[in-house]
Structures are given as C-alpha cells and as structure tokens.
C-alpha cells in the first residue's frame, strides 16, 4: 500500500512499467477526436480508479464493475489507510474470483495527494470523497482527460462551485462524459413524470414542497491520537467546510428535483433553522433543521424542509402544484400525476425498476464503451449544489439572499491541505465547542 510522499519508493519498477504503458496508450488515444475515440485501454479493458473509499465509494465501485463486463478497478485512493483497506477487502470478497478487481496494495494510494496517482492509472474515475474535496479532484480528472462519475454535492462553498463550473467548461470542450450522482435523473418514475410535465399535463408549476426529514446519520467519536484535522475529516458530516451541512449533503436531492421540474434555479432564498437536538461538540457546527422558501424567476415558490431529529415525522419526497394538476413523487419508485379535480393522469409504482444508483453507471459505461459523448451533468450538479448552499446561507443568516449576490461573493470554506498536521479550517474553543452560525448575526453578503 503506497503512502505519499514516499509513493515512488515502493515497487518503483512496477510503477515505472505501468506508467510507461499508460503513457503509450494515452499518446495513441489522444490522436483521435475525443468525441469518437473509445475510452478503453489497449488491453481492451475500461480501467477505473476509485477516489474516496467510504461506504458510498465502495458501493459506486461495485456498481461500476457491474455496469460492463470489461470494467476493471485498477486503483483506489483515500487519505485513511484503514478505510482504503476495508474498501479493498469488501470488493475482493464480492468480486475476487471474477478478475474485475485488479487494484492491489501496490495500486492503493494513501494521503492527500494519492488521488493523482490513482487517477493517472485509469480511463474512468469515481470521485466519492466528502464533498469539500470534490472541486480539486474534479479539476485534476478533467486536466488528465478522464471520463468521470462524481457524487453530489460537487462543492461546499461558492468558491468550489466556481471551480467546478470552470473545470466543467474544459470537460465539455474535451467531450468528457460526466455524471453527477443525483440519481433521480436516472430513475424511471422521475423520468416518466418529467415527460408528462414537459407535455404540459399539469400546466405551469406554481408552487411545491420538497422534504428530507429523517432521524439523522452517524457520529464518529474523537480518538485521543487524532489531530484536530483528522478528527474533523473522520466526523466529516458535522463540519461545513468538508460536508456543507445536511441541507447540502442530503437535501440537495429534493432541491435538485425542484430545479429540474421547474427548469430554472431560484432567484432568491429566505428561511430559518437551528440546532434543537443535535447540539453537542460531537455535532460540530451544522444545524439539525432548515426551512427555506426558494423563489424562482417566474414567481414559483418552493418550500424546502430538512430535519435530522429522531422521533419525529420522517418524510423524503417532492410535491408540486400546477395550474392544471399536481405531482407527488419519491425515491421509492413512486410517481403520481393528478388533474386539478383529483383524477389520476398517471401513476407509477414498480418495485422491479432498476436501482437508479446502478442505472447511472450502466448509462455512463455504455456511452464510454460506444465512444460517445452523451452525458454532461456538470452545470446541473453545480447549480443544484449552489441552490442548497444558497438555502444554507439564508438559514444561517436569517436574511433574504439572492442568487446573484451569493454567486458574486468570495465565500470560501476549504483551504489547501497536505497532511493531518495542518491547521483545521475551524477550531474548537476551550470547552470543545465549535463556532455555530447565529441567525441575525452571521453574515455572508
């Protein structure tokens, strides 16, 4: 297992031989137009690198392997050695006899810069680290002309959004397929409902309600040997610079559906939120509830709710009201379109639909194998992420914030980091508590 900065000292001969082969393949492939060449290595395989080895990364790697018989996982990277080891072992346990996991300890890269070596070895990269690191990983993958699957959200601050959009322009110019893990776009019930909206079956959407109300997620306790930065990265969900708060990390799915169905991003947002239940030092600095009103350019108002509080009503779905009818849809393969008088226009409820997490990989690798430039989720992913960030700005500040004001700001949360000994972006006080936004006092604009 390779650790930076000593990576080149380990199995140097093998690394040089692999690099020479990859370089030769790259020279041959770069002579062909990006729009027509097949992103398949000279051995006839589609080589994949995984960057980010948590639960979602392990799942995405498995879905990539299942998407096409020629997919081979050749490298993995993570800042945590134990996490990379567990991911590797899980994939070997599942696919070990198939020959599809060609990654090994020698092609497992540990450290803050390990992603570069993993990406260099592959045709396709899977970016599944916590989202604070997504912009720099995406930039590098685009620079190296890789086809890309990256999880949502694509950033945690406005600075990161701008980096992703700029790199996205380069990806588009290079005709690189990029899919962002907003999988409802690849889910049959959502696609079928969107077709009906496009046919004007409910008229114009005038309002809607989108929800991600649940009991919350894990907490990872601090260990004595950890530096402050390592602790925050282990317990990443509770720190805005690396997570973005749950309105960005989770509720983005529902907010994305509102943008998609309306066909626009909001002009402004205002809302409220706070920490009512999850408010100890182990919950970092994020809120446990947000309520936002997003107002769109044509006057539509979307009420957005997300909550992480146990023992409360759970609800994860989207509802919209139109001039001629209504829509109710959720991720459980359910979709209902009704007329204004309550008549069913369409109902979708099929437990046999393909898992959308798998479907997005199936479609990506089908395009790659066919040598087609078909998928470009960059702008949509960045805009939905930015919409969620706009909502967070509104709840943290208690102010009305416009899209244009937010995008013109210098809002930056993520510094350049090289090791766990670097200073963490935020620090606790003498009692171990972190600075928490205060509506009416916190300012962004």
pLDDT score at 225: 97
> What pLDDT, on the 0 to 100 scale, is given for residue 4?
56
Structure tokens at 182: 């907003």
- Specify the CATH number for the domain of residue 166: 3.40.50.720
Instruction: Indicate whether 96 pLDDT > 50.
Output: yes
What pLDDT is stored for residue 40 in this prediction?
55
Q: Which run of H or E residues covers position 334?
A: strand 334-339
State the Cα–Cα distance between residues 137 and 160, nearest whole angstrom. 11
CATH number at residue 324: 3.30.360.10
pLDDT reported for residue 33: 34
pLDDT of 3 reads 66
- Do 176 and 224 fall into the same domain? no
Nearest by Cα to 200 from 20, 70, 323, 92: 323
143-156 confidence digits (pLDDT tens): 999 999 999 999 99
398: left (phi over 0), alpha (psi -120 to 50) or beta: left
Q: Which residues contact 263 (CB under 8 A, 6 or more apart)?
A: none
Please compute the mean of the pLDDT values over residues 223-239 and round it to a whole number.
98
Does residue 416 form part of some domain? no
Q: Strand, helix or coil at 166?
A: helix
Rounded mean pLDDT of 48-77? 98
Mean pLDDT of 210-229: 97
CB 304 within 8 A of CB 294: yes
pLDDT at 42 over 50: no
The per-residue pLDDT for 97 is: 87
For the segment 395-441, what is each residue's pLDDT rounded down to a tens digit? Answer: 999 999 999 999 999 999 999 999 999 999 999 999 999 999 999 99
Contact 426, 413 (CB under 8 A): no
Strand, coil or helix: 326: strand
In terms of Cα–Cα distance, which of 334, 331, 328, 313 is closest to 213? 313
Q: How confident is the model at residue 385 (pLDDT cuts 50, 70, 90)?
A: very high
pLDDT in tens, 294-349: 999 999 999 999 999 999 999 999 999 999 999 999 999 999 999 999 999 999 98
| Least confident range of 15-19, 105-109, 157-161, 221-225 | 15-19
In tens, the pLDDT along 275-291 reads: 999 999 999 999 999 99
Tokens of 252: 């983005």
**How many Å apart are CA 330 and CA 190, to the nearest integer?**
8
- 139 and 203 housed in the same domain: no
Same domain, yes or no: 176 and 193:
no
Asked if the model's pLDDT at residue 36 lies above 70, the reply is no
- pLDDT value at residue 195: 98
Question: How many domains does one find in the chain?
Answer: 2
On whether both 156 and 190 belong to a single domain, the answer is no
Is 162 contained in some domain? yes
Helices (H), 174-291: 188-198, 228-234, 246-249, 252-262
Does 359 fall in a domain? Answer: no
% of the chain beyond a pLDDT of 90: 88
Q: Is the pLDDT of residue 139 over 70?
A: yes
Buried b (16+ CB within 10 A) or exposed e, 127-153: bbbbbbbbbbbbbbbbeebbbbbbbbb
Residues 162 and 204 grouped into a single domain: no
More confident of the two residues 16 and 23: 23
What whole-number distance in Å separates Cα of residue 248 and Cα of residue 383? Answer: 12
Residues 308 and 328 reside in one and the same domain: yes
The 10s digit of each residue's pLDDT in 263-275 is 999 999 999 999 9
136 and 245: one domain? Answer: no
Give CA separation, 185 vs 253, 270, 273, 423, in Å.
10, 27, 28, 39
Strands ordered across the beta sheet of 301-308: 344-349, 334-339, 325-330, 315-322, 205-214, 301-308, 289-295, 268-274, 401-402
pLDDT higher for 32 or 141? 141
pLDDT band at 9 (very low <50, low <70, confident <90, very high): very low
**With bands split at pLDDT 50, 70 and 90, how would you rate the model's confidence at 14?**
very low
Which range of residues forms the domain containing residue 61?
A: 2-184+373-377
Helices (H), 11-99: 12-30, 55-67, 81-95
Pairing of strands 108-110, 124-127: unpaired
- Inside any domain, residue 415: no
Phi, psi (rounded to 5 degrees) for 99: 80, 10
pLDDT computed for residue 324 by the predictor: 98
């Amino acid at each position: 297992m390779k650790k930076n900065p000593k990576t080149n000292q380990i199995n140097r001969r093998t690394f040089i031989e692999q690099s020479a082969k990859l370089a030769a393949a790259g020279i041959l492939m770069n002579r062909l137009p990006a729009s027509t060449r097949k992103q398949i290595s000279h051995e006839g395989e589609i080589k994949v690198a995984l960057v980010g080895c948590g639960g979602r990364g392990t799942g995405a790697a498995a879905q990539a392997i299942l998407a096409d018989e020629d997919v081979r996982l050749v490298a993995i990277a993570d800042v945590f050695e134990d996490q990379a080891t567990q991911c590797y072992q899980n994939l070997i346990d599942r696919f070990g006899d198939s020959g599809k996991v060609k990654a090994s300890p020698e092609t497992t890269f540990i450290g803050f810069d390990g992603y570069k070596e993993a990406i260099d070895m592959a045709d396709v990269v899977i970016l599944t680290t916590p989202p604070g690191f997504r912009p720099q990983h995406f930039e590098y993958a685009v620079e190296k002309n890789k086809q890309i699957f990256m999880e949502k959200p694509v950033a945690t601050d406005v600075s990161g959004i701008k980096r992703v959009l700029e790199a996205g322009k380069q990806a588009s110019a290079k005709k690189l397929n990029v899919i962002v893990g907003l999988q409802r776009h690849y889910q049959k019930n959502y696609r079928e409902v969107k077709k009906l909206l496009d046919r004007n079956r409910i008229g114009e959407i005038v309002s809607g309600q989108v929800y991600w109300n649940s009991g919350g997620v894990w907490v990872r306790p601090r260990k004595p040997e950890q530096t402050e930065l390592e602790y925050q990265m282990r317990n990443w969900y509770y720190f805005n610079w690396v997570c973005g708060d749950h309105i960005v990390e989770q509720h983005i799915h529902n907010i994305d559906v509102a943008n998609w169905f309306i066909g626009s991003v909001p002009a402004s947002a205002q809302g409220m939120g706070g920490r009512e239940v999850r408010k100890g030092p182990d919950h970092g600095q994020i809120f446990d509830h947000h309520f936002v009103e997003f107002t769109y350019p044509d006057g539509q108002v979307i009420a957005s709710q997300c909550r992480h509080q146990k023992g409360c009503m759970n609800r994860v779905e989207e509802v919209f009201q139109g001039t001629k009818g209504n829509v109710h849809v959720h991720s459980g393969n359910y979709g209902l379109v009704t007329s204004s008088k309550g008549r069913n226009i369409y109902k979708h409820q099929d437990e046999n639909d393909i898992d959308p997490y798998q479907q997005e990989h199936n479609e990506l690798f089908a395009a790659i194998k066919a040598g087609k430039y078909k998928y470009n989720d960059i702008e949509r992913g960045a805009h939905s992420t930015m919409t969620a960030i706009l909502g967070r700005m509104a709840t943290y500040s208690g102010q009305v914030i416009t899209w244009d004001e937010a995008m013109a700001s210098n809002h930056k949360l993520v510094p350049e980091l090289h090791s766990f000994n670097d200073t963490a972006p935020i620090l606790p006080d003498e009692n171990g508590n972190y600075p928490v936004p205060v509506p009416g006092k916190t300012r962004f604009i």
